[in-house]
Chains A and B, each alone.
Chain A
Amino acid sequence: MKFEYTISNLNFSTAGEASSNIKKVLKLLGIDSKIIRRAAIATYEAEINIAIHSHGGKIILYIEEDSIKITAIDKGPGIENIELAMKEGYSTATHEIREMGFGAGMGLPNIKKCSNEFSITSEFGKYTKLEITIFI
């Protein structure tokens, strides 16, 4: 099964809808609630990252027999230093975004903690792609 969601830049009123939909789909499939929680948290953080840091992007959910795969890909501007971006507490978010409670530098570490397999690739100036796998 494949589901695709478009995420807009800086639209915080809709950010969270993809994760909410994914949660509903997984619930309907009778997936364990702890697995659903991890998938929902990882997707939410990925959505917020796309909304805060990118020019927009999409989230694709693949549900397979033994795993949930979530791919988050945006249209750039990409991450210059991935190692730094993965560090808890490091953030490039603006003051305004931080005042809203986002941009604490916990998004990517949170996603990694929720994943069984996690990869991040980025080309500076072009895109960032997250691939998250959660075993069912």
Chain B
Amino acid sequence: MKINQLLENKNFKLLNDVPYLDEEITYIRSCDLLSLVMAKGEKGDAWITVQTHSNIVAVASLLEMSCIILPESIKPEETTLIKATENDIPIISTPFDVYKTMKEFSF
């Protein structure tokens, strides 16, 4: 599934302005320990996390993840959105919990 296909679902809302949304989401990963994400994360992953500080963008960007998904309508810090926009990392918000979010995907 591509990012823009995910965004056709009204339960997924893009929070920042990024130019490319046609990237393929190759896997979905849920984890809040940054070192574990760094060790296991892969290019193309959509990363579900409840962390909202700007360092999640550093992790997603280094690993070339496709996007960050914040579940349960959790709001990111303003600096996170700014940094994500600078680094072309889409931040997506959903009211869904982790399980319901993951159910939207099949690989």
Q: Which residues of A contact B (CB under 8 A)?
A: 12-13, 15-17, 19-20, 23, 37, 40-41, 44-45, 48, 100-102, 104, 106-107, 110, 113
Contacts and interface: CB of A to CB of B under 8 A. Distances in A.
24 contacts: A13-B54, A13-B83, A16-B62, A17-B58, A20-B58, A20-B61, A23-B62, A37-B63, A44-B38, A44-B58, A44-B59, A44-B62, A48-B34, A48-B35, A48-B55, A101-B33, A101-B49, A104-B33, A104-B35, A104-B36, A106-B33, A106-B36, A106-B39, A110-B35
B51 interface: yes
A23 to B, nearest CB: 6
B32 interface: yes
A101 B51 contact: yes
Given A104-B33, A106-B33, 17 more contacts: A12-B53, A13-B79, A16-B58, A16-B61, A17-B58, A20-B62, A20-B87, A40-B62, A41-B38, A44-B38, A44-B58, A44-B62, A48-B55, A100-B34, A101-B34, A102-B34, A102-B55
Interface in B78-107: 79, 83, 87
B62 A19 contact: yes
A107 B55 contact: no
A37 B41 CA distance: 11
Contacts of A41: 38-39, 62
Interface residues of B, number: 22
A22 to B, nearest CB: 10
Contacts of A20: 58, 61-62, 87
Nearest to B37: A101
Contacts of A13: 53-55, 79, 83
Contact of B55 (A16, A37, A45, A104): A16
Contacts of B58: 15-17, 19-20, 44
Contact of A101 (B32, B54, B83, B87): B32
Contacts of B83: 13
A16 B87 CA distance: 12
B7 to A, nearest CB: 26
A45 B62 contact: no
